[in-house]
Structure 1
Amino acid sequence: MLIFIPKMNYKARFAFLFFSLLGAWQAEARQKPNIVIIISDDHAFQAISAYGSKLMQTPHIDRIAREGVLFKKAYVTNSICGPSRAVLLTGKYSHKNGFRDNENSRFDGSQYTFIKQLGAGGYQTAWIGKWHLETQPQGFDYWKILPGQGQYYNPDFLTMNGTTQRTEGYVTNIISAEAEAWLDGRNKNKPFCLVIGHKATHRTWIPDINDLGKFDKVNFPLPATFYDQYHHREAARVQDMSVEKTMQMAYDLKMLSFIKKEEPTISRMNPAQRQKFDQYYQPIEADLLARHLSGKALTEWKYQRYMRDYLSTAASLDRNIGRTLDYLDQHKLTDNTIVIYLSDQGFFMGEHGWFDKRFMYEESFRNPMVMRYPGVIKPGTVSDHLVLNLDIAPTLLEAAGVKIPPAVQGKSMLPLFRNKPAKGRDAIYYHYYENGEHAVSPHFGIKTNRYKLIRFYKRVNAWELYDLQKDPHEMNNLYGQSQYEKITADLKAKLQTLLRQYEDEEAIALTNQVIN
């Protein structure tokens, strides 16, 4: 950069040069896009109207899609909370970043993250809300996080100075307010990257007081697979995540007479909150007890309650996403800010009779993701490319003009939006490790646009194959059928290629293992 310096005395020349360089540096900083990542927990694409959902309207998530891109084929590498966040931060698979499951893993904060890379590139960085990685954040200029899963009402926050603060109110609203407070106090001369981690819509789906009863007049149709019998799918048969058997009356559905002790999530409410909570749920419980339901009638009652609480919790989430977008508008940040909304994974909304996630089946494996990048992504774009949460780190580094380290395993998504879009993936890889809660067997596999091949191990030792074109609900396991031998061999070969590419030695050994 050349700067013309007019004739003047020494002090004047020095001041001129200093302020010229400062102005040039600030102009460069302003050209770097700001970044806001909003990540929710367990939010199903089936509950988002941009994805065609008839369950509820999500106008603010839809706004991001309308002003940017809707990813119709966005997936995760490991469908569970902590591991998904570790993948987001590092751009590396779980076996590379070290956080494989929520039972035994602790995030090694000393390793590379895209946040550290952005910080070195001049960005101011913050994470506010749900973190769930068992160790304190490293590499951020600021953080304020929920301990563990956090609480819906009057949540505690861990702070950088080592204290724990309790804040009165509803967690989704509080996280949004904390994010705004950080934005208000940030260094306005530096670009920023802010991650807003919402607790919603994680179990146990406790709505904001203002949203109680929002869907009580809706009778939700049962999913076509609600009474799935899991024929020829042993891993699905042995799971423990069903609405019928696993969903708890008190813990999940707030029918408090079904236990003798207080639920901690409810007892932390203040008197005013508790009064409104009881005014809503106690008549529902009295009606249930008077009806003496059992069998399928009780299961379907539980399903309706689950849906009403889940979607009411999601309503607050969408409203607060709108609040964040409004803040960017009001502070004239919209035109130079990338906004990404995603969930940490998908979620079952009664499909196969389930809630929760973990499986490589579509409802869990596929996650909602929308992205707005003014001037780069054309508004109203709909992408059918196979993308992963693994790709967010390199995408943001490229957008910021920061070098992408060789260890990053994801691919920048920005080439997909250029005039001559790059060719996307023809297959994606998944690996789930946890072998405890909900009795879901560890497994890994490959998905192409048409087929999915899954290898279960440990709890269940089996392969599964699905033709997603003919069987989108994944009810008919085709593995071992004679007419699918060539397709199976081709998929196994592609799987081996991906395993070598991502250096997953454990999965390579299991792929080659013969199952009797």
Structure 2
Amino acid sequence: MSQQPNILLFLTDDHGAWANGCYGNREVQTPTLDRLAREGTLFTHAYTPTPVCSPARACLLTGRTASQVGIHDWLQEAEPDIGERDWLADEVTLFQRLQAAGYTTGLCGKWHLGQSHRTPRGVDYYFGLPGWQGRHNGTYTYVLNGQKVTLTGNKSQFITDHALAFLDQVPADRPFFLNVGYIATHSPYSQQEHHPAVTELYQDATFADIPPYHPHPWAKNENGPGDPPAEQAVRDRYIGYYAAVTEIDHNVQRILEKLEALGRLEETIVIYTSDHGCAIGHHGFWGKGNSTRPLNMYDISLQVPLLWRGPGIQAGQRLDRAVDHYDTFRTILDMTSVPLDDGRAYPGTSYAPMLRGETIPWDDTRFGEYGDLRMIRTPEWKLVYRYPNGPHDLFDLVNDPGETCNLADRADMQPILADLKARLDAFYAVYSDPAKSGLRVKELHRHNAAAEAWRDGLREARGLQVYP
């Protein structure tokens, strides 16, 4: 048995907190994730700093903001100058830090931070998805420790198979860090993407936990059902999304069972979270922060599941403090006794004492960004400020938790808006590199435009509606 705890980090793709039984969903079947919540700690207000995959993942794995790292949108790695670039050349990831501390490290599944065809620095075992991640089933060419491997079947199954292979190779006397990155809850959402045994579970579901779907006129949907939508097209995507969640749950169970068989589960800290949230018709759109114009910071795009189970973690605990990926980065280092002393600015705070059941001072204010959009969220208010000229959003989260009434233009709200804006600017004055700031995103990178053009072409080829 190793002295330091093992870390098993599930970082899934587009899995909203709302789509879990342990978060109150009455129909989606997540027995394994519910077990993690029952035997560990669940955060009811966990958020991503950026509601799109590549920058969100960078925030968690480096502990730094998008405006420090310089990744401001999803990276379309099919574009050579994007896919071949080392986007984290100036950063140190969790893999590197834990490997240097004696951990055997593995990454099985999604990386999406550039050079996905190569083994990332600090990773001992890599089974990854080079280029575009594609559909959930079919023939796909993966990369295994630098070698191409073509397989036909289900991606979640193959990702899990290699996670199990990694666990079989880890020396019993060494701690491990394993990051498992499922893509199953990412679009395409159609039930045809998943095994009939899973989709059959939801053929008679009411989907009462999803608000009635009314298309937003300015939505730029991701794999939406078209406009106007046929009822069956909407239902097909509901079934597909719920089936994807259950598919992931089944595979998480496989990994927990392997750890139990190896006698290592009780020395392993298991963390389950997602890069960002996901709307399945919520607010009238499908997807996340990049599924509307202008880009959005709705809670449905930001809120992620966050479950911790393992040694020293309070069982059956539900915490309502607001935390984010920056904090999770700091907490993993805290729980593994790995120092963070490189002199750079890190916005997160460790919540490790909370996991042990302790009460500590905590600021529930969260910050986020998406290119030249920035956000501050307090328990009472959310300001989404689109630099330089708007439009801006101001939501009263106490009286309007559904974020349906924008108060940004009301005269009596201007003092509140000004105060929040000052706090927002003060945060990014500390946690932003002027050369990599999202406020310069248009002149810095073209990966946003390349990603948009590529996605629009793909959606048009599939006959999906493209909004202006």
- Secondary structure of the structure 2 residue equivalent to 1:462: coil
Query: Is the aligned partner of 1:201 residue 2:138?
Result: no
Which one of 307, 323, 335 corresponds to residue 370 of structure 1? 307
Q: Within 5 A, what are the aligned runs for 1:498-513?
A: 498-503=427-432
Which one of 414, 417, 425 corresponds to residue 485 of structure 1? 414
State the partner residue of 1:56. Answer: 28
Query: Is the aligned partner of 1:172 residue 2:156?
Result: yes
Which one of 116, 127, 143 corresponds to residue 144 of structure 1? 127
Contact kept, 8 Å, 1:416 with 1:423, in 2: the verdict is: no
* 1: CA distance, partners of 2:210 / 2:262: 43
Query: Is the aligned partner of 1:319 residue 2:236?
Result: no
Spell out, residue by residue over 1:140-191, the C-alpha distance to the aligned partner (whole angstroms, 9 max, x if none). Answer: 112110123244224321122x321022321111111110111101222211
Change (3 A) 1:331 1:355: same
Which runs of no fewer than 5 residues in structure 1 stay unpaired? 1-26, 230-236, 249-294, 434-441, 511-516
Which one of 385, 397, 405 corresponds to residue 476 of structure 1? 405
Bigger shift: residues 125-134 or 97-106: 97-106
State the partner residue of 1:394. Answer: 330
TM-score normalized by the length of structure 1: 0.75
Change (3 A) 1:199 1:509: closer
State the partner residue of 2:424. Answer: 495
Q: Within 5 A, what are the aligned runs for 1:299-318?
A: 299-318=230-249
- Secondary structure of the structure 1 residue equivalent to 2:307: strand
- Secondary structure of the structure 1 residue equivalent to 2:364: coil
Q: Within 5 A, what are the aligned runs for 1:41-190?
A: 41-103=13-75, 106-110=85-89, 111-135=91-115, 136=118, 137-147=120-130, 148-153=132-137, 154-160=139-145, 162-190=146-174
Change (3 A) 1:310 1:509: closer
* 2: CA distance, partners of 1:197 / 1:107: 20
* 2: CA distance, partners of 1:222 / 1:121: 44
Spell out, residue by residue over 1:300-328, the C-alpha distance to the aligned partner (whole angstroms, 9 max, x if none). Answer: 32211110111112211111111111222
Deviation at 1:224, TM superposition (A): 4.1
Deviation at 1:462, TM superposition (A): 1.3
- Secondary structure of the structure 2 residue equivalent to 1:158: strand
Which one of 322, 329, 334 corresponds to residue 260 of structure 2? 329
Query: Is the aligned partner of 1:353 residue 2:284?
Result: yes
* 1: CA distance, partners of 2:241 / 2:147: 32
Which one of 428, 453, 462 corresponds to residue 366 of structure 2? 428
Deviation at 1:417, TM superposition (A): 3.3
* 1: CA distance, partners of 2:30 / 2:126: 28
Deviation at 1:367, TM superposition (A): 1.0
Deviation at 1:457, TM superposition (A): 4.1
Deviation at 1:420, TM superposition (A): 4.3
Change (3 A) 1:467 1:176: same
Which one of 336, 347, 350 corresponds to residue 409 of structure 1? 347
Contact kept, 8 Å, 1:496 with 1:508, in 2: the verdict is: no
Structure in which a larger fraction of residues adopt strand: 2
* 2: CA distance, partners of 1:51 / 1:430: 23
State the partner residue of 2:455. Answer: none
Contact kept, 8 Å, 1:44 with 1:349, in 2: the verdict is: no
Deviation at 1:109, TM superposition (A): 4.2
TM-score normalized by the length of structure 2: 0.83
* 2: CA distance, partners of 1:348 / 1:424: 29
Spell out, residue by residue over 1:479-515, the C-alpha distance to the aligned partner (whole angstroms, 9 max, x if none). Answer: 12233233223212222222223136557899xxxxx
AA aligned opposite 2:362: G
RMSD (Å), alpha carbons = 2.4
Spell out, residue by residue over 1:205-228, the C-alpha distance to the aligned partner (whole angstroms, 9 max, x if none). Answer: 311243243311223348446337
* 2: CA distance, partners of 1:165 / 1:202: 22
Spell out, residue by residue over 1:96-130, the C-alpha distance to the aligned partner (whole angstroms, 9 max, x if none). Answer: 12222124764434331121111111111010112
Which one of 424, 437, 450 corresponds to residue 380 of structure 2? 450
Contact kept, 8 Å, 1:307 with 1:349, in 2: the verdict is: yes
Deviation at 1:390, TM superposition (A): 1.7
- Secondary structure of the structure 2 residue equivalent to 1:167: strand
Structure in which a larger fraction of residues adopt helix: 1
Deviation at 1:242, TM superposition (A): 7.3
* 1: CA distance, partners of 2:249 / 2:357: 32
* 2: CA distance, partners of 1:222 / 1:381: 24
Contact kept, 8 Å, 1:242 with 1:353, in 2: the verdict is: no
Query: Is the aligned partner of 1:227 residue 2:214?
Result: yes
Change (3 A) 1:52 1:143: same
* 2: CA distance, partners of 1:311 / 1:212: 8
Spell out, residue by residue over 1:28-74, the C-alpha distance to the aligned partner (whole angstroms, 9 max, x if none). Answer: xx120001001111112221011001231211111111111111111
AA aligned opposite 1:159: L
- Secondary structure of the structure 2 residue equivalent to 1:169: strand
Change (3 A) 1:486 1:60: same
Deviation at 1:378, TM superposition (A): 0.8
* 2: CA distance, partners of 1:176 / 1:164: 18
Change (3 A) 1:120 1:171: same
